[in-house]
């Protein structure tokens, strides 16, 4: 089977034939049908996780189960599934014993141990697989396994109340889904973007208003009345700091889902006088993923996807790195 193998950091991934993996007890083998590319894959490419090589990345994989390891009782051959990032926790640490989110477990198993979705066949822990709703295509389901799941949990973690005004900062792969999920939950939703050429599309996706960020997206948002919730998916610490300083209404919450290389600056006087909150957020437990998938299956959220053949993986990674992927790139495999 073919896989895109990282043999050296910062070098092109090698598309090569590798031996077919065999599922161990508790694992399944998935024939990958679609696989999304996430900004985090760029961090993997640059070696910031310091994982042993060779390695196959890709954490938005969906496909069909073709083999079951021993003891897999709940899944069947032919099931349509996707695998999320944290597939299996250690089961023994205090976090696991308390049944907390497996993302917090230091011994969690993910694509990092088993190999990711940039391959024709992929191993996954059965308990890390989620069944796809009937009415969702593979290509639409793929980006929900990281981008959609992450922003849906981010929205939940902001604890929206009826009447809250939500602003999305950063309107790419994650942000365009955050916008649609917020709208689907009936919240007034604003988009804050520096890209003037996205205004029409963002309105078509359901933004009540699109605010052009200019030099200071915080001031731009404040001029538009501010927000109770900001869902931030940008990697710019400067923009997060500006929006936290000026764009939130009193008691507002900024949910940070971007990996910012620079530190986020917070003015402590502003923090205490406004009683605002900065919330870090990745993925909550699996019910958020199921709900996020269902909203796509119901047609209330539509990922905006550019689809590519698998053998274009290096070109697409470079496009993503150069900021040329408008929303989400997904590879389709047969």
Chain contacts with Zn ion (rule: CB under 5 A)? 38, 40, 89-90, 93, 96, 105, 107, 146
- Tokens 């996020």 locate to 292
Of the pair 107, 186, the CB lying nearest Zn ion is at: 107
Q: How far is the CB of 27 from Zn ion (least distance, A)?
A: 18
Q: Considering the complex, what minimum distance in angstroms separates the CB of residue 89 from Zn ion?
A: 4
- Distance, in Å, from the CA atom of 198 to the CA atom of 190, rounded to the nearest integer, reads 13
Place of tokens 């501010």: 226
Cα angle, residue 188 at apex, residues 320 and 241 outer, rounded to 5°: 55
Q: Cβ of residue 326: shortest distance to Zn ion, in angstroms?
A: 17
Sequence length of the chain is 334
* Peptide linkage before 137 cis (omega within 30 of 0): no
Which one, 107 or 309, has the nearer CB to Zn ion?
Answer: 107
Residue 144 is given by DSSP the state G
For 34, 154, 165, 232, 252, the CA distances from 158, given in Å and listed in that order, are 30, 6, 11, 11, 9
Q: Which residues pair with 124 in a beta bridge?
A: 28
Q: Which is nearer to Zn ion, 78 or 323 (CB)?
A: 323
Q: Give whichever of 22 and 48 is closer to Zn ion, judged by the CB atom.
A: 48
* Nearest to Zn ion of 159, 259 (CB atom): 259
Nearest distance in Å: CB 215, Zn ion: 29
161 in helix, strand or coil? coil
Query: Whole-angstrom Cα distance, residue 98 to residue 129?
Result: 21
Q: Is 29 exposed, middle or buried (0-12, 13-18, 19+ CB in 10 A)?
A: buried
Other CB atoms within 10 A of residue 201 CB: 17
Nearer to Zn ion, 40 or 195 (CB): 40
Q: Cβ 47 to Zn ion, closest distance in Å?
A: 17
Query: Which C-beta is closer to Zn ion: that of 93 or that of 246?
Result: 93
Least distance CB 236 / Zn ion (angstroms):
18
Shortest CB 43 distance to Zn ion, Å: 9
């Amino acid at each position: 089977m073919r896989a895109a193998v990282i043999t050296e950091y910062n070098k092109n991934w090698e598309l090569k034939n590798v031996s077919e993996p065999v599922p161990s007890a508790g694992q399944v083998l998935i024939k990958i049908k679609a696989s999304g590319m996430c900004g985090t894959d760029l961090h993997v490419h640059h070696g910031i996780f310091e994982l042993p090589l060779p390695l196959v990345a890709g954490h938005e994989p969906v496909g069909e189960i073709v083999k079951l390891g021993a003891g897999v009782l709940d899944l069947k051959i032919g099931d349509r599934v996707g695998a999320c990032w944290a597939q299996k926790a250690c089961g023994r640490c205090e976090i696991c014993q308390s049944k907390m989110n497996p993302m917090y477990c230091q011994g969690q198993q993910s694509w990092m141990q088993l190999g990711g979705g940039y391959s024709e066949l992929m191993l996954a822990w059965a308990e890390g697989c989620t069944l796809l709703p009937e009415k969702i295509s593979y290509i639409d389901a793929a980006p929900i396994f990281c981008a959609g799941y992450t922003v849906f949990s981010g929205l939940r973690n902001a604890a929206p109340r009826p009447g809250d005004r939500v602003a999305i900062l950063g309107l790419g792969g994650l942000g365009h889904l955050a916008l649609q999920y917020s709208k689907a939950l009936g919240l007034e939703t604003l988009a804050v973007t520096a890209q003037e050429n996205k205004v029409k599309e963002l309105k078509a996706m359901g933004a009540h208003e699109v605010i052009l960020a200019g030099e200071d997206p915080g001031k731009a948002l404040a001029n538009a009345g501010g927000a109770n919730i900001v869902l931030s998916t940008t990697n710019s610490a400067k923009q997060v700091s500006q929006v936290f300083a000026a764009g939130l209404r009193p008691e507002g919450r900024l949910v940070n889902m971007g990996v910012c290389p620079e530190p986020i600056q917070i003015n402590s006087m502003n923090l205490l006088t406004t009683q605002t909150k900065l919330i870090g957020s990745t993925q909550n437990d699996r019910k958020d993923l199921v709900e996020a998938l269902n909203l796509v299956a119901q047609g209330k959220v539509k990922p905006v996807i550019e689809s590519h053949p698998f053998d274009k993986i290096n070109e697409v990674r470079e496009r993503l790195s150069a900021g040329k992927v408008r929303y989400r790139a997904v590879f389709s495999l047969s």
